[in-house]
Amino acid sequence: MSITTHSYGTTKHGEKVDLFRLENKRGTLVEIINYGATITSILTHDREGTLSDIVLGFDDIAGYESADNPYFGATCGRFANRLKKGSFTLNGTSYQLAKNDGENALHGGLRGFDKQIWEAQVNADTLILKRVSPDGEEGYPGNLLVEVTFQLTEENDLRIDYQAETDQPTFINLTNHSYFNLAGGGTIRDHHIQIHADHYTLVDETAIPTGELRAVEGTEMDLRCSLAIGTHIDQVQGLGYDHNYCLNQTDGSLTIAAQVIDPSSGRTLTCLTTEPGVQFYSGNFLNSFIGKAGNIYAKQNGFCLETQHFPDSPNQPSFPSTQLNPSDRYTQTCVYRFGIEK
């Protein structure tokens, strides 16, 4: 597996952006920029041997900096997903964050990890991206040292390892926000998905968890057996799937969370994680975005599998804790495994 480095231009603030191209002997190719630790391209083969890009994104840094960017391929933090009213209490102290999703905070705030330049290091077949999130950034306490490692294996696994340490108690929840389309374009309603979860976090009208872990059995949320994404999507609360599934794994081992197949191309995606949850998002808010090569991304033209802890965990005592203390190290792993169904 090889990694090459290329210039990707400069930000509107004059910061240099680099692109790192990871390629294995099968010809699978992944491109990542150090702006937002963002995956910009993933090229895989279909059953006929045709290589196509299977993630949504933009052609240049201006697109990723634009206000319209819906977190294409980005590393989200310091706290991915939503926090109710943009606030939490930690050890008796209340913290107010920016409200960038109605009355709630989303994906780290106005200038979260997705909008930062990361320090890059190439170590043999591994890309390491690091940054220090200073105490008070976006309202979060503690100086947080974060490291995200990307590795493309010869077995067609894109492995993402996360680590973080803090000098004060804080909350952390990281994820990758790639939008996949295994057909290389068009709707994802015909993709077949299976998620290994008996429950999901029920949410209110603002997509904040109520605290209830509701059983999927007998509902439109039941994806335990593989079925087309479009089968029940129009009956799902809101505009489609945008819910955290509580995975059946409980021991923190790396296990399969979800599997997706595109029958037309034969491409498959298996998502593995050590996290307790995966946010399945069916691209409901894609609204005629102009993306790569002038392609128009419309509603449900891409899906996300965001492996993470549950949304609003700091305000939900019954959820798995996302608190990180100075004596601890935050770690998690996500693997996106690419394959072909003959």
Give the whole-angstrom CA distance, residue 142 versus residue 330: 14
- Amino acid present at 172: I
Q: Whose CA is closest to 256, among 241, 278, 281? A: 278
Q: Which of 107, 177, 192, 243 is catalytic?
A: 177
Strand order in the sheet with 255-261: 119-123, 126-133, 144-152, 157-166, 330-340, 267-273, 255-261, 192-195, 227-228
Number of neighbours of residue 153 by Cβ within 10 angstroms: 16
d(Cα 78, Cα 60) in Å, to the nearest integer? 25
Catalytic annotation present for 177: yes
Contacts by 137-140, CB closer than 8 A, 24 or more apart: 137/78, 138/78, 138/97, 138/98, 138/108, 138/109, 138/110, 138/111, 138/112, 139/86, 139/95, 139/96, 139/97, 139/98, 139/109, 140/78, 140/79, 140/95, 140/97, 140/170, 140/171
Neighbours of 49 (CB within 10 A): 8
Q: How does strand 296-297 pair with strand 105-106?
A: unpaired
Amino acid at 22: L
Catalytic residue among 137, 147, 275, 306: 306
In Å, what is the CA distance from 238 to each residue of 203, 283, 326?
10, 12, 39
Q: Which residues contact 92 (CB under 8 A, 6 or more apart)?
A: none
What number of residues does the chain have? 342
Backbone region of residue 125 per phi and psi (left: phi > 0; alpha: psi in -120 to 50; beta: other values): alpha
- Catalytic positions: 177, 306
